[in-house]
Amino acid sequence: VGLRSFSHIGIAVTAIESGLRLYRDVLGLELEGTEEVSEQKVRVAMLRAGTTRVELLEPLSDESAVAKFIAKRGPGIHHIALEVEDIDRTLETLVADGLEVVGGGPKPGAGGARAAFLHPKGTGGVLIELCARKARSRITP
């Protein structure tokens, strides 16, 4: 299905700053950066953890899916993200295999990636994000 690597673990937090106190200041992960993903109504902090990353997700409003998640289950692990080569082709294959896309298909995600989610009812209750980085320029400097 074109999986490239394990991209990140998404963790829902009520405030990025308190998440950073644990993951950056106590656990010592390197902060790569923070950004607002307005399309998904979240503020995100990415921290490098070896070959993968921890993504802290803070809701920007009560309408955010992450706010609803926290209200229902409390802060904690929200999703795992797998990086794929070609998100449209991967989704096509997985849907043909009986999995369902939730949230309406690929949307802009963190770091300019395109991201889509698989419905947890088909994945043993785990929200799986598939993400694809922006195509790299073929022109080499």
- Which residues contact ligand CMX (rule: CB under 6 A)? 10, 37, 40, 42, 44, 55, 57, 65-66, 69, 78-79, 81, 102-103, 109-110, 113, 115, 117, 120, 125, 127, 129, 131
The three-state DSSP-derived secondary structure of 77-99 is: EEEEEEEECCHHHHHHHHHHCCC
> Closest distance between ligand CMX and the C-beta of residue 95, in Å?
15
Residue 37 CB partners (closer than 8 Å, separation 6+): 43, 44, 108, 109, 110
- Give whichever of 23 and 69 is closer to ligand CMX, judged by the CB atom: 69
- Give whichever of 107 and 141 is closer to ligand CMX, judged by the CB atom: 107
Looking at residue 25, the DSSP 8-state letter turns out to be I
Is-contact 99 123, C-beta < 8 A?
yes
> Closest distance between ligand CMX and the C-beta of residue 123, in Å?
9
Q: What ranges in 1-141 are assigned the alpha helix state H? A: 16-20, 65-73, 87-96
Please name every residue paired with 52 in a beta bridge, in sequence order, or none if there are none.
49
- Give whichever of 54 and 57 is closer to ligand CMX, judged by the CB atom: 57
- Give whichever of 9 and 22 is closer to ligand CMX, judged by the CB atom: 9
> Closest distance between ligand CMX and the C-beta of residue 139, in Å?
26
> Closest distance between ligand CMX and the C-beta of residue 114, in Å?
9
